[in-house]
């Protein structure tokens, strides 16, 4: 991998913010932590102000045209639902009040939306569950239950694996070619709904679905990228830890933490051993994860990107801190090498294959888990670089915008709700006191909505 001209200076600077002349990581003072917490809070307020002014009641703000965007026919309040618990956590009481009021007065599912079950589950169902657990108003739980019930028809397949879409009005389900991430990443939310309502049907359906993927793993314990939920046959045998598969692994581990069900832990351990054996690619810039054939383990591609960066955090969280550190080295290289992380690049040819940055959280998320697992300042320095880059390049007069091309830093007309739910929350948590999030009491879903770990586990 060759370093580009100009990037070299950036990389040297990047190294300097983590290490002093003796090669030791410089101290990160309490004042610096407090200052960064304030900067992140101000960013959340700024982004919310833009949403309020130009997109109130809609799903998202389009920050460059200052217009509103809805995912479907009717708004699902993606931004307020995703943002609500971040505001509570960051102590933004006024903003939390506004989001709460909007959700409780406007959110309903009496419409004809044809929704993607995975996205609506991780953002809206999870956001409502967390809102209920944090706020206590039973209306949040009633909304969560209504939404869960609307989505239950997708599980009615011969394999138990869900269809991707459901129509709220007709209950019609569609798209039988699904993927491990969208199939598996319903477990925390539907399982939690069972705990809160006392009705086991949600837990059972979601468990049958995620375990149906596990059952169809290859002889070398890897899964493919696409699967037909009617026949149970793999449609794509490409394996990796990126989009379409990523949070399937994350939910196996987190479901073990949340529900104490050993089936999840066993499955996670089996996959983790295979991923380490076949997918990790050790380079001088850190450990990347390759793409391969799920049956042979043979490499098919050496692309890596923003979504893959979550894996360091999952390794740290599940106890494999040494692997996590090496992967985070690669993650940080990816960010610093280009001045901001690309959606995807080829780490062997050093070429960017998708040049945009969508305000994604995964790299910072991994720093959060690693900073807790190691107590090292290094991950605070890394987060400082990333969040300051975001504040510098993505800020608009009204809110924040994604980047269309990280080479030119031209902005793109999108501010995804996960910027509130995850990117800002994880960045703030990295600098906040450890008491702000207690791992023995809470688990984050894949959109960083915290769920309480019940003592009466299933």
Q: Which residues bind ligand DMJ (CB under 6 A)?
A: 122, 247, 307, 360-362, 418, 422, 446-447
CB nearer ligand DMJ, residue 242 or residue 323: 242
Element holding 198 (H helix, E strand)? none
Give the active site residues: 119, 246, 343, 362
Collapse the DSSP code of 93 into the 3-class scheme (helix H, G, I; strand E, B; otherwise coil) and give the result: helix
Cα separation, 307 vs 293, in Å, equals 19
CB nearer ligand DMJ, residue 363 or residue 371: 363
CB nearer ligand DMJ, residue 18 or residue 389: 389
Element holding 70 (H helix, E strand)? none
CB nearer ligand DMJ, residue 95 or residue 362: 362
Residues 6+ apart with CB under 8 A from 401: 63, 64, 394, 411, 412, 413, 414, 415
Least distance CB 362 / ligand DMJ (angstroms):
6
CB nearer ligand DMJ, residue 185 or residue 221: 185
Least distance CB 244 / ligand DMJ (angstroms):
10
Least distance CB 390 / ligand DMJ (angstroms):
13
Least distance CB 170 / ligand DMJ (angstroms):
26
Least distance CB 328 / ligand DMJ (angstroms):
17
Backbone φ and ψ of 177, nearest 5°:
-95, 105
Per-residue burial over 285-303, b if 16 or more Cβ lie within 10 Å, else e, is: bbbbbbbbbbeebeeeebb
- Whether 185 contacts 247, CB under 8 Å: yes
Q: Which residue has the tokens 């149906």?
A: 212
For 400, which DSSP code?
B
CB nearer ligand DMJ, residue 63 or residue 361: 361
Provide the token pair at 200.
């086991």
Given strand 177-178, what is the order of strands in its sheet?
A: 177-178, 226-228, 234-236
Given strand 114-116, what is the order of strands in its sheet?
A: 114-116, 165-167, 173-174
Least distance CB 417 / ligand DMJ (angstroms):
8
What burial class does residue 73 get, using C-beta atoms within 10 Å of its C-beta: 0-12 exposed, 13-18 middle, 19+ buried?
A: exposed
Provide the token pair at 102.
């909007």
């Amino acid at each position: 991998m060759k370093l580009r001209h100009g990037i070299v200076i950036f990389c040297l600077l990047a190294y300097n913010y983590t290490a002093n002349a003796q090669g030791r990581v410089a101290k990160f003072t309490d004042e610096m932590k407090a200052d960064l917490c304030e900067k992140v809070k101000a960013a959340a307020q700024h982004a919310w102000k833009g949403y309020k002014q130009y997109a109130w009641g809609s799903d998202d703000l389009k920050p460059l045209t200052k217009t509103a965007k809805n995912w479907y026919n009717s708004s699902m309040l993606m931004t307020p639902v995703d943002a609500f618990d971040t505001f509570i956590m960051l102590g933004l009481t006024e903003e939390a009040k506004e989001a709460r009021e909007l959700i409780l007065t406007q959110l309903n599912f009496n419409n004809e939306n044809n929704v993607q079950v995975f996205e609506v589950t991780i953002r809206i169902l999870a956001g409502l569950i967390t809102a209920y657990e944090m706020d206590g108003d039973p209306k949040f739980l009633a909304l969560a239950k209504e939404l869960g019930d609307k989505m239950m028809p997708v599980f009615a397949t011969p394999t138990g694996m869900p269809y991707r879409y459901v129509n709220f009005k007709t209950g019609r389900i569609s798209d039988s070619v699904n993927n491990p991430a969208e199939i598996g990443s319903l477990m925390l939310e539907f399982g939690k709904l069972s705990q809160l309502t006392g009705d086991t049907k949600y837990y059972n359906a979601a468990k049958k679905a995620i375990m149906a993927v596990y059952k169809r793993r290859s002889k070398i314990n890897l899964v493919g990228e696409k699967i037909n939920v009617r026949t149970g046959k793999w449609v794509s045998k490409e394996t990796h830890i990126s989009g379409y598969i990523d949070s399937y692994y994350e939910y196996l581990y987190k479901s073990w933490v949340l529900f104490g069900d050993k089936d999840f832990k066993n499955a996670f351990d089996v996959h983790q051993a295979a991923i380490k054996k076949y997918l990790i690619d050790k380079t001088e810039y850190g450990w990347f994860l390759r793409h391969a054939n799920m049956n042979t383990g043979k490499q098919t591609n050496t692309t890596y990107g923003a979504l893959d960066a979550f894996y360091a955090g999952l390794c740290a969280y599940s106890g494999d801190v040494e692997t996590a550190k090496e992967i985070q080295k690669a993650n940080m290289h990816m960010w610093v090498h280009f001045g901001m992380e690309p959606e995807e690049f080829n780490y062997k040819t050093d070429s960017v294959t998708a040049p945009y940055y969508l305000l994604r959280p995964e790299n910072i998320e991994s720093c959060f888990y690693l900073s807790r697992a190691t107590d090292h300042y290094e991950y605070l320095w890394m987060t400082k670089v990333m969040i300051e880059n975001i504040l510098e390049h993505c800020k608009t007069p009204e809110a924040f915008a994604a980047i269309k091309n990280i080479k030119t830093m031209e902005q793109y007309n999108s501010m995804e709700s996960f910027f509130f739910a995850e990117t800002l929350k994880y960045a703030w948590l990295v600098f906040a006191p450890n008491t702000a999030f207690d791992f023995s009491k809470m688990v984050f879903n894949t959109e960083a909505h915290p769920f309480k770990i019940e003592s009466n586990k299933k």
